[in-house]
A and B are shown apart, each in its own frame.
Chain A
Amino acid sequence: MTFNSLHFLIFFPLVVLVYFLIPHRLRWLHLLLASCYFYMALIPLYVLILFFTILIDYVGGILIENSEGTKRKAFLFLSLVSNLGILVVFKYYAFLTANVSSLLGAFGISWEFPGWSIMLPIGLSFHTFQAMSYTIEVYRGNQKAERHLGIYALYVMFFPQLVAGPIERPQNLLHQFHEEHFFDYTRAVSGLRLMLLGLLQKVYLADRLAVYVNQVYQSPHDYNSTALFTATLAFTFQIYCDFSGYSNIALGAARVIGFTLMRNFNSPYLARSIPEFWKRWHISLSTWFRDYVYYPLGGNRVSGLKRIRNIFIVFLLSGFWHGANWTYVLWGLAHAFYYLIGMILPRPKSSPLVAVFETLYTFALVSLSWVFFRANTVSDAFYILKSILFELPLSAFSPAAFRGPGLWVPFIGLFGLFLLEVARPRMQLTSLFQRCPLWIRWGGYVAALLLLWNAGVINAIPFVYFQF
């Protein structure tokens, strides 16, 4: 089930209603069944893979907690290998075998691996990473092993964040399933408001931008540099609206039923450097890599060369996490290079002008890296980059480039979103909105609903991050 479907718009109020009507002791079961239904509405059989990982990590967590020394390490190792094994089999098998075959072919050895044609289970990378964070935290002694199998299953399967995060930590989420939540009007309204914003980001902005982006990126050689530039800029906003829209709906839905999920985005395109961008973009994944890969490798407290190695490892893994394709690996590498350059270059003295320049510079670097992320092949990506960097005429920056492909409609909305993000750290937008007269607040909700109903596109693509 996707958030932007009628199915979900019926499912969610029913889940909320039943949740607050039944006694606390039954709520975990209700949420677990709802989450199963939510997941099985996509491909029912894949729930078995989830059950398998849940069982392994549930047992793994208890065994880790009850043992010490090498045994404890061995149980963690087994749990991690099982999780990563599932990820490799379903997500990376075709990529790895194709590349090994090509490599062997280069040495004149012909070797064909058995075929494995299966659709990637939705959100596999997300719930696998969330499950791994549980066993690692139990191993580190930061989290007590969960004895209630149903609650643990819910930790992995909680429907608002099951298929595209945020990738939660057990310390933040697990205890919330044990606590009794009472319906809170203010909290529910704030959750619904967040869901509405997320839906607008997806339906009105991301899906509209995607129409042009898909058209151009499908056959980039048919388009000139202006179109490639415009489509790349459009994708920069599409991916943000798509993913942060999803996260907002997830956070909002969880908030309505009384749960707090971690914030996944914090105005990333307003970052003034690449390291800052990574503190604001897909926060749950970047902190996952920081906590479970970068720090264990030594983090910043190692020699310069080792630090460079650590940065490359983290970004390569991050690229690979996104997909079994060299384009994602290159995207990760590009960010590793950006990160290193940012470390080497001295930062100018801060001033408003410098701040604007740094923000634009970071935005340009990030936008260019998205070319690798979105292109269908590596050669397409390099063709698009060459075209944008060396053949772009000045006319590409004129409003005509956006009017032509009909992008002005979502760009009006993007301007609104930009104002919102600029204003957010400076003023208390929520309380400001709540202080507005009733007719303005209600008028805003009505306008948002009308926009949602009329500004979307039919046959829109699912959330981009579902495929990871």
Chain B
Amino acid sequence: MKKLLLKTLPIVLTAIVLQILLYSTPYRPQIFDSVKEFETELSKGSDTLIFGDSVTLLYARDDQDKRTLGEMIQARLAPKKVSVFAHEGRHMGVYRSYVKYLSDNPHSIRQVLVPVNIRTFSTYMDRRPGFEFNIERSVMEWGSHPIAKSFLFPLMVFKGIAQDTITQKEYDHLPVYHGSQRIGEMGDYSHSRFLAYTDDNARNLLISNYLEPISAEHRRVKDISTLVELCQSKGIVPLFYFTPLDYMEGERLIGEEFATQIKANLDVIKKVLVGHGVKSLDLSFTLPTDHFMWKDHTYLNEHLNQKGRLALSETLAGYLTQDSSLGSM
């Protein structure tokens, strides 16, 4: 057996060296596209980076102004250059990975604007297959390491890194909570997003999106701490804002407990931010229901319409300008 080990070792080592050499060339498989895209954004030379998800990205069909929130902020802050990274379904874990990439590479970013979309902390979003983005996250976190980056792709091919940690079937059986009470399984609630807008379907979504209590031990809450620490270690200023939600619809469909549970969850996160001495702007209960659209995409959800994006972009542009520790921009 010793002979086999002694003969296998140089073969494997040679392959490892060649693999590392291969990745020292410009060759990259498709999984590295997120790096390319992010690098393009960073190459603008801006000092501000805005993260975002579908709430800020999508628009209503009858919107006159179809610009994304990021584009609206960029226009308000022009001629100053602002980089935007926004994709559907992204959450605090993904932002953390992008900030890790920032901390590993040279760039001009000095402040990042991070949305805290409280529904991405729900089991509904956080555990949903296809929404953990483990591959994208691994590439961003390890893609700058000279050796690790060479083996990310093989690791993914051999299922050492999986896009999701659970299957759709397992997800469908996860519990849904209404406050502390377990009221059913995810499969009974999550399918509502593919149905027509009715009070029942919207209520199901709001319950599964917002009414599960979260704790400081939640993995996405911990991601906030890591993100802040990474920023602070590299002299980047993290600015957080809590994204607006359709609280009026929530109160209409669920009652006062809707706001009560959300506020309790927001407090958990605010406490963490305060603990790190980081500023945040709570916009959760600021926009009335006519600033949202629910039905304009392939799935039901409360996304901002033109009115909502314009209002939010104005607030955020002001936040970046006035409250920034970088001073007036």
Contacts and interface: CB of A to CB of B under 8 A. Distances in A.
Judge: A and B partners, yes or no: yes
Contacts of A459: 163
Interface in B10-42: 10-12, 14-15, 18-19, 22, 29, 31
Interface string A1-31: 0101111010000000100100000000000
B3 interface: yes
Contacts of A192: 8
Contact of B135 (A185, A189, A458): A458
A120 B228 CA distance: 46
A6 B11 contact: no
Considering residues B11, B154, B157, B163, which has the most beta carbons from chain A within 10 angstroms of its beta carbon?
B157
Taking residues whose C-beta sits less than 8 angstroms from the other chain, chain A's interface range is 20 to 34
A458 B8 CA distance: 27
Given A453-B19, A458-B163, A185 B4 contact: yes
A462 B29 CA distance: 22
A183 B1 contact: yes
A189 B154 contact: no
Contact of B14 (A2, A446, A452, A460): A446
Contacts of A188: 1, 4
Main secondary structure on chain A at its contact with chain B? helix
Interface string A185-219: 10011001000000000010000000000000000
A64 to B, nearest CB: 40
Contact of A453 (B11, B153, B163, B169): B153
A189 B157 contact: no
A189 B163 contact: no
Taking residues whose C-beta sits less than 8 angstroms from the other chain, chain B's interface range is 20 to 34
Contacts of A20: 1
Contacts of B156: 458
A449 B19 CA distance: 10
Given A20-B1, A453-B153, A458-B135, A446 B18 contact: yes
A367 to B, nearest CB: 28
B155 interface: yes
A450 B3 CA distance: 23
B182 interface: no
Nearest to B30: A458
Nearest to A1: B159
A458 B157 contact: yes
B163 to A, nearest CB: 6
A115 to B, nearest CB: 15
Interface string A452-465: 11101111100000
Contact of B157 (A7, A185, A445, A457): A457
A113 interface: no
A433 interface: no
B156 to A, nearest CB: 5
Contacts of B14: 442, 446
B160 interface: yes
A343 B43 CA distance: 70
Nearest to A460: B157
A442 B14 CA distance: 9
A2 B15 CA distance: 23
A450 B15 contact: yes
A70 B131 CA distance: 61
B12 A6 contact: no
Nearest to A9: B158
A290 B52 CA distance: 63
Considering residues B8, B135, B159, which has the most beta carbons from chain A within 10 angstroms of its beta carbon?
B159
Contact of B153 (A9, A189, A454): A454
Contact of A203 (B10, B31, B157): B157
A444 to B, nearest CB: 10
A213 to B, nearest CB: 18
Given A185-B4, A454-B29, A4 B11 contact: no
Contacts of A450: 15, 18-19, 22
Nearest to A457: B157
Considering residues A189, A192, A454, which has the most beta carbons from chain B within 10 angstroms of its beta carbon?
A454
A189 B11 CA distance: 13
Nearest to A456: B157
Contact of A454 (B1, B12, B135, B154): B154
Contacts of A446: 11, 14-15, 18
A245 to B, nearest CB: 14
Contacts of A9: 158
Contact of A458 (B1, B10, B11, B31): B31
A58 to B, nearest CB: 33
Nearest to A199: B158
Contacts of B12: 449
B99 to A, nearest CB: 24
Nearest to A21: B1
Interface in B75-103: none
A192 B4 CA distance: 10
Interface string B212-252: 00000000000000000000000000000000000000000
B90 to A, nearest CB: 19
Contact of A6 (B3, B29, B160, B169): B160
Nearest to A203: B157
A5 B4 CA distance: 22
Nearest to B154: A453
A203 B155 CA distance: 12
A4 B15 contact: no
Interface in A105-159: 119
Interface in A253-277: none
Considering residues A17, A189, A453, A457, which has the most beta carbons from chain B within 10 angstroms of its beta carbon?
A453
A458 B158 CA distance: 8
A4 B158 contact: yes
A5 B1 contact: no
A6 B4 contact: no
Contacts of B154: 452-454, 456
Nearest to B11: A445
Contacts of B15: 445-446, 449-450, 453
Given A20-B1, A188-B1, A188-B4, 8 more contacts: A5-B159, A442-B10, A442-B11, A445-B11, A449-B12, A453-B154, A453-B157, A458-B163
14 contacts: A2-B159, A7-B159, A9-B158, A20-B1, A185-B4, A203-B157, A203-B158, A446-B11, A446-B18, A449-B15, A454-B19, A457-B157, A458-B157, A460-B157
Interface of B: 1, 3-4, 8, 10-12, 14-15, 18-19, 22, 29, 31, 135, 151, 153-160, 163, 169
Query: Ordered nearest first, which 10 A-B pairs have the shortest CB separation?
Result: A456-B157, A6-B160, A453-B154, A449-B15, A5-B159, A6-B158, A458-B156, A446-B15, A445-B11, A446-B14
